[in-house]
Amino acid sequence: MTPEYSVDNSGSKPVLKIGRAALAAGIIGREVSVHTVYKLKRLIASGGMGTVCEAEQFGSDGFIKNVAIKLLLPELTKNQEFVSMFMGEAKLAACLVHQNIVQIYQLGKSDESYFIAMEYIDGIDLEQFISRHAASGRKIPPELAVYITSRICRGLEYAHNRRDENGERLDIVHRDISPRNIMITSEGEVKIADFGVAKARRKAAARMRDNIMVGKIPYMSPEQATYEPTDPRSDIFSLGVVFYELLTGVSIFDKPTEEQSISEITSGVRRDPRSYRSELPQSIAEIVLCCLELNAAARFQTAGELGYVLENHMYSKGYGPTIITLAQYMAKLYPDRKFYVAPSRGDNLSVSVLRS
């Protein structure tokens, strides 16, 4: 069939306009084959399953895009269980498209090594952010701790409620919310990284029992620590541990041995964060301790609920921290790095936005 088209000569140059229906009829169903090349630039980090590198993606006509490449460790490529977990990470995380989640672009295989191409984050993780304050003897402003935690809530809310193309819940639980897996970009965005240990129970049952312990022990929920089934409230507990650390500088369950950490997590005894930082509002201390309840039924039941409570504290008076506030703070905290600073009015950290 000959495509319908018209030529618009009203401008300085002729413009070919192809009818949408004709165009769709001609291309829908076609496969577009693209040979993508990635050049690894530098090592970012190494973990138990893979190595992450900064890389350049090359396209046609000089197109170059910075990405991150996660490579499965060579010694693991012969282990089908690890390969399946690695591929499952990419397939699961690729469906998560949200401003507070690191985006996955592609799952590929080069020679005998599997890799995931993902969004490159020009910034730092929360572990570095917390360490920077500890090294200088500074405390993180409480309103920024609340803001960062609220953004993590929104990313988790989206992931926890994600559905497939048939409308069925994917039952995604991250299971490894910790400072190392939370990023702050150079423009003040907060993003959750590494859904690699997350599982959609429906898809993972064939290769992994639901009672396998997954995650960093000081940030585990009691359910994880005791090999019990987990749901989104497990992520809320882990986020509570991170929130506690942002507010106080103390990793509450980081003990000399794994056994001691697990014992503290499962004891149900939680030290009030105001014992480390007396100026914290009582309401914020209560929110943190609610996240850390031993019984999941006593915690906030959804990340959205927790996010709403935190946002209410920040903005109930009509003003509060924004992405620009965080970017400006980061620029001062890291003067040697290129953090984006935008002129704005009202983003003033000297103004308290928390209610007691």
Residue 176 annotated among the catalytic residues of the structure: yes
CA-based angle 273:289:170, to the nearest 5?
Answer: 130
Both tokens of 47, joined, read 């973990």
- Among 125, 176, 235, 347, the one annotated catalytic: 176
**Burial call 54-68: b when 16+ CB within 10 Å, e when fewer:** bbebeeeeeeeeebb
Longest dimension (CA), the chain: 77
Instruction: Give residue 71's region: left, alpha or beta (phi > 0; psi -120 to 50).
Output: beta
Both tokens of 296, joined, read 């999941």
Beta carbons of 287 and 304 less than 8 angstroms apart? no
CA distance 212 to 269: 25
CA distance 109 to 159: 26
Short-list 152, 190, 159, CA closest to 174 = 159
Beta carbons of 189 and 99 less than 8 angstroms apart? yes
Strands of the sheet with 123-125, listed across from one edge: 123-125, 182-185, 190-192
Q: Residue 351 carries which DSSP code?
A: S
Beta strands in the chain (DSSP E): 5-8, 15-18, 37-46, 50-58, 64-72, 104-110, 113-119, 123-125, 172-173, 182-185, 190-192, 199-200
Short-list 110, 36, 52, CA closest to 77 = 110
Q: Which residues are catalytic?
A: 176
